[in-house]
Chain A
């Protein structure tokens, strides 16, 4: 993938059609993290009936609906210009910030699905047929996230 600034304060990405299809496919899976995954407190005993925990889950669920709508208008096949097997798409700073949040949700969500592997705890990712897709999607998300972080640095300069 390549990127370049364009005059209206945004960046243009150039990618292969496979990368375009991968990005469109990835964002269709958003959100991957279940609203009930996050806990409002770690040190207190908080059960599902706790008002603050319920408020958190409702807030995340509502936000997901809004984010999904925004995403449908941001990344879809027709928004790319394809010429000579190169796909181009433009994003402004707000788009990039939002897309970073989306891709990180997908990446963390697949990490959770893969059993939260953690090398420090000697809990490695099992590369079996069930979790191979999680590994692949985490890798793809990381690639796109790195691209976004570089693009954001470029816009801030």
Chain B
């Protein structure tokens, strides 16, 4: 037997998922921020090891962007504010 569809519940669940983990924080490449500086900022903002921060910095440098975290809207906003405080080119996107 096929499960009974509950469109309203499904819609609420989708919206909750989007709020809870529906955003990614992306750091974009730019020609001005120093590589060592970007690594330091990622360590500071996310509490990452130097190795992890360097991995993301190199991804930004080579691929043009790096997805740093997936999180709720509020946390994604917080991280973007922090990264932009350090003048990095960071945004939050639905994803």
Contacts and interface: CB of A to CB of B under 8 A. Distances in A.
Given A42-B28, A107-B32, A142-B34, 6 more contacts: A40-B77, A41-B92, A55-B77, A108-B87, A118-B31, A149-B40
Given A97-B44, A145-B34, A40 B91 contact: yes
Given A39-B91, A40-B92, A152-B40, A60 B84 contact: yes
Given A104-B37, A108-B32, A152-B40, A43 B93 contact: yes
A100 B77 contact: no
Interface residues of A, number: 31
Contacts of B84: 38, 56, 60
Size class of the contact patch on chain B:
20 to 34
B33 interface: yes
Nearest to A38: B84
A42 B40 CA distance: 24
A101 B28 CA distance: 18
Majority-rule SS of A interface residues: helix
A127 B84 CA distance: 28
A111 B85 contact: no
B26 interface: yes
A149 B81 contact: no
Contact of B87 (A33, A39, A42, A116): A33
Contacts of A43: 91, 93
Interface in B58-95: 77, 80-81, 84-87, 91-94
A59 B31 contact: no
Contacts of B8: none
